[in-house]
């Protein structure tokens, strides 16, 4: 007895307690959804969806019982008859090949033990099974089993397996499909219908036969199931809608959840509803990817991404291709492949899965430079070259390339800061760096509106005449050197209104305005009102030309103040978090403009700034936006030194969007990037999402008056504190007729355009050279 007790104690070491067994919960992955219920991300080692026994199709339940434990509801933790049968078989064979594991024993092994085949593990399995049966009913045990068991393809539980293998919800699977899934628990790899369809079919037939023998199905159902052809989903999770390409935001959610809940975030079934809107996100991705691909194609083909030595043996060749492409992930529209041969019929390529296809001559036009006989070795498309395959307008394959250029777009609701769309780059798999939140770049002239907002509170107004003529500054009192900024187009109009100066993005106007109101005042105003960090707003005059550094998301938050009537809202992206039991863990409670959000600028200031920025969109450097047929768009273009960054920050009353284009390692884009690259990308996006949205009319607010066709703040009217001119004494206003302006670029100087003036005396010269 003592020996038996000692043996049981030894076997029971490290086994779960009754409390642990009473609170069993399968590990559930973290799932991230758009605000309208589209899955945009899933994180966790196990793909699993919870399935209630009551919601399980009867034929699936019967198929599992038929093959795994037909007497499940008749025996206890172990099936004595089954144990004796398996024991006799193993003794006669001299091994441990056969088992008699009940569903409860399998669950015990899956949750707490290993899969090694020996008597010690088997005895521990039995002890845990008895403990489980002591605290759980048969239905609860079967439900746990149906959700816990591993079924291959990273799927755990039958709900997940139904989606992965058949692209269906579990309630939709047929009898034949149920029998196929029921065959997986014994050996998920061996009976995987994707990898081993023949063995999977043999087991399916056997299960259907068992179901018929046990009386679960009649002869007619049995024959129909045998004859039914199975349509597999190639092991991919099906979705009710195409991907919205929201990987960048899904990763932001993942990082925040892990920061809050630790590693358990991957297993506790967190369901996160984001502020993202599916249609808006899709439009943003299409705008960014389309713009970048077009820009890249205009630059021409750069050659293969690399080369790999191809073995002569076919199997070894496939392995070499797969290994080589491991570091070249597929982008959504551009599949990585290796060239196998080149002939007059075209180029034969193989992808990472070993599939081959022939790219016909019509699909080689873009890559023609790589097909020439005199092409350099690094440019030539030859066997072993790693290339990208995409579909052309007719849907036929062609050789393309990943864009070197990058872009970003973020859109948010100005009323509460909810992020509706976020695209952090061309493709997350190819490059996960999130340019919306991580790329700190100079904003160029998109920063000027913040300076002008500060000026409005000092009596400057849209009608203020500002001298647009050359000027020089002595930035360092200890040096004789003068900084002589210039206008982008080299043209100077003399005294012009602030309104016209903003529309034409005149650098001299912005600098004189900032000099007039004071750098320290303007800097403090911008930092406190628009939520920028002091480190991002430099304490010197080039601030007016965008010498600071911001992210697209920060810029969007700043422009939201202009769009919502003057309130500061905080951008956010998580609406709600629930756990695996659907308990709400957190819920967003954003401050709302005109309700409980803090006022950043006065209603009068916001009205005038909106009017000024609407003028930029209609008559200024963003005049192209008129092609959208709307009168309620406002915004500002921006191009940094040497056209290294292209920006457009703009809005309609319901949506603020910031568009950026540039290289990760800054270099010239070769054009007026603000108006010619970033603005068209913004228009592609806004043209789709604003379709059908009524035009918003901004009504005058208390505190503003219109005199002689121009708006003034009531606190600063002519003769009552209004600043009529800056640097214009004795000068007559410019009489040059208004024309539709275009952004222009002056010849670049030899400078990197990124140095801080506080540490590099060359920098002030560089800041002047901004596009509009």
CA dihedral 522, 526, 532, 538 (to 10 degrees): -10
Separation CA 399–CA 378 (nearest Å): 16
Are β-strands 634-639 and 419-423 bridged in parallel, bridged antiparallel, or unpaired?
A: unpaired
Separation CA 737–CA 758 (nearest Å): 40
DSSP for 668-683, written as a single string: --SS-HIIIIIHHHHH
Q: What is the CA radius of gyration of the chain?
A: 34
Do 657 and 641 touch, CB atoms closer than 8 A?
Answer: no
Q: In the chain, how many H helices and how many E strands?
A: 24, 23
Do 411 and 421 touch, CB atoms closer than 8 A?
Answer: yes
Q: Which residues contact 735 (CB under 8 A, 6 or more apart)?
A: none
Do 672 and 639 touch, CB atoms closer than 8 A?
Answer: yes
Copy the structure tokens of residue 646.
């292209």
515 is an active site residue: no
Q: Read off φ and ψ for residue 43, nearest 5 degrees.
A: -130, 130
Instruction: Give, in order, the Cα–Cα distances in Å from 521 to each of 53, 455, 528, 542.
Output: 67, 10, 11, 15
Helix or strand holding residue 586 (H, E): strand 584-587
State the burial class of residue 537 (Cβ atoms within 10 Å of its Cβ: 0-12, 13-18, 19+). buried
* Segments in 325-419 forming alpha helices (H): 368-371
Annotated active-site residue in 34, 289, 445, 672? 445
Q: Which residue has the tokens 């502020």?
A: 275
Do 502 and 447 touch, CB atoms closer than 8 A?
Answer: no
672 is an active site residue: no
Annotated active-site residue in 68, 133, 177, 247? 68
Do 644 and 439 touch, CB atoms closer than 8 A?
Answer: no
Separation CA 688–CA 24 (nearest Å): 48
- Known catalytic residues are 68, 445
């Amino acid at each position: 007895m003592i020996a038996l007790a000692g043996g049981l104690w030894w076997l029971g070491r490290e086994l779960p307690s009754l409390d642990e067994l009473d609170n069993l919960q399968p590990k559930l992955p973290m799932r991230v959804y758009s605000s309208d219920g589209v899955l945009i991300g899933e994180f966790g080692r196990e793909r699993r969806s919870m399935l209630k026994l009551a919601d399980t199709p009867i034929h699936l339940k019967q198929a599992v019982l038929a093959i795994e434990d037909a007497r499940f509801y008749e025996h206890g933790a172990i099936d004595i008859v089954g144990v004796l049968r398996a024991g006799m078989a193993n003794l006669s064979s001299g091994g441990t090949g056969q088992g008699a594991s009940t569903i409860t024993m399998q669950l015990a092994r899956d949750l707490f033990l290993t899969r090694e085949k020996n008597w010690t593990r088997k005895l521990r399995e039995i002890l845990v099974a008895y403990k489980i049966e002591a605290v759980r009913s048969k239905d609860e045990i079967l439900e746990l089993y149906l959700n816990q068991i591993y079924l291959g393809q990273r799927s755990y539980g039958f709900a997940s397996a139904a989606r992965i293998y058949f692209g269906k919800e579990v309630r939709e699977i047929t009898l034949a499909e149920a029998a196929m899934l029921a065959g997986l628990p014994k050996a998920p790899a061996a009976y995987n219908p994707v990898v081993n369809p023949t063995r999977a079919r043999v087991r399916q037939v056997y299960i259907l036969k068992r179901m018929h023998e046990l009386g679960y199905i009649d002869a007619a159902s049995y024959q129909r199931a045998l004859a039914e052809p199975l349509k597999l989903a190639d092991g991919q999770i099906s979705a009710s809608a195409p991907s919205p390409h929201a990987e960048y935001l899904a990763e932001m959610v993942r990082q925040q959840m892990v920061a809050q809940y630790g590693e358990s975030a991957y297993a506790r079934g967190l369901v996160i509803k984001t502020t993202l809107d599916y249609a808006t996100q899709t439009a943003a991705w299409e705008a960014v990817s389309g713009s970048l691909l077009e820009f890249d194609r205009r630059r021409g083909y750069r050659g293969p991404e690399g080369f790999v030595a191809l073995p002569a043996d076919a199997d070894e060749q496939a392995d070499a291709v797969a290994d080589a492409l491991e570091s070249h992930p597929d982008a959504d529209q551009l599949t990585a492949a290796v060239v196998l041969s080149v002939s007059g019929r075209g180029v034969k390529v193989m992808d990472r899965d070993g599939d081959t296809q022939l790219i016909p001559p019509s699909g080689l036009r873009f890559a023609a430079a790589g097909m020439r006989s005199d092409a350099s070795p690094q440019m030539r498309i030859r066997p072993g070259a790693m290339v990208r395959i995409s579909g052309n307008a007719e849907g036929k394959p062609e050789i393309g390339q990943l864009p070197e250029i990058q872009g970003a777009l973020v859109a948010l609701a100005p009323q509460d800061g909810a992020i509706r769309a976020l695209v952090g780059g061309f493709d997350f798999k190819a490059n996960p760096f999130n340019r919306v939140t991580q790329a700190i770049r100079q904003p160029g002239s998109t920063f000027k509106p913040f300076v002008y907002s500060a000026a409005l509170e000092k009596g400057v107004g849209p009608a203020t005449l500002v001298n647009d003529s050359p000027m020089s500054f002595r930035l360092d009192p200890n040096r004789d050197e003068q900084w002589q900024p210039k206008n982008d187009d080299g043209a100077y109009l003399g005294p012009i209104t602030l309104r016209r100066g903003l529309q034409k993005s005149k650098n001299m106007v912005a600098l004189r305005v900032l000099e007039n109101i004071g750098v320290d005042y303007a800097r403090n105003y911008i930092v406190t009102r628009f939520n920028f960090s002091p480190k991002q707003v430099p304490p010197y005059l080039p601030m007016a030309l965008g010498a600071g550094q911001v992210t697209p998301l920060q810029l969007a938050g700043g422009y939201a103040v202009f769009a919502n009537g003057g309130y500061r809202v905080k951008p956010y992206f998580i609406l709600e978090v629930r756990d695996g039991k659907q308990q709400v863990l957190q819920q967003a409670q954003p401050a709302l403009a005109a309700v409980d959000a803090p006022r950043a600028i006065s209603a009068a200031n916001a009205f005038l700034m909106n009017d000024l920025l609407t003028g930029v969109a209609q008559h200024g450097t963003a005049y192209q936006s008129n092609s959208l047929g709307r009168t309620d768009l406002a915004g500002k273009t921006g191009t940094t030194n040497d056209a290294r960054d292209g920006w457009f920050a703009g809005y309609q009353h319901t949506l603020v969007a910031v568009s950026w284009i540039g290289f990760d390692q800054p270099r010239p884009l070769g054009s007026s990037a603000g108006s010619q690259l970033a603005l068209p990308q913004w228009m592609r996006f806004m043209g789709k999402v604003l379709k059908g949205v009524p035009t918003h009319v901004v009504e005058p607010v208390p505190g503003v008056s219109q005199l002689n066709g121009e708006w003034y703040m009531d606190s600063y009217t002519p003769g009552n504190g209004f600043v009529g001119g800056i640097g214009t004494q004795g000068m007559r206003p410019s009489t040059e007729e208004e024309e539709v302006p275009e952004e222009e670029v002056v010849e670049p100087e030899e400078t990197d355009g990124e140095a801080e003036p506080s540490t590099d005396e060359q920098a002030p010269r560089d800041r002047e050279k901004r596009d509009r």
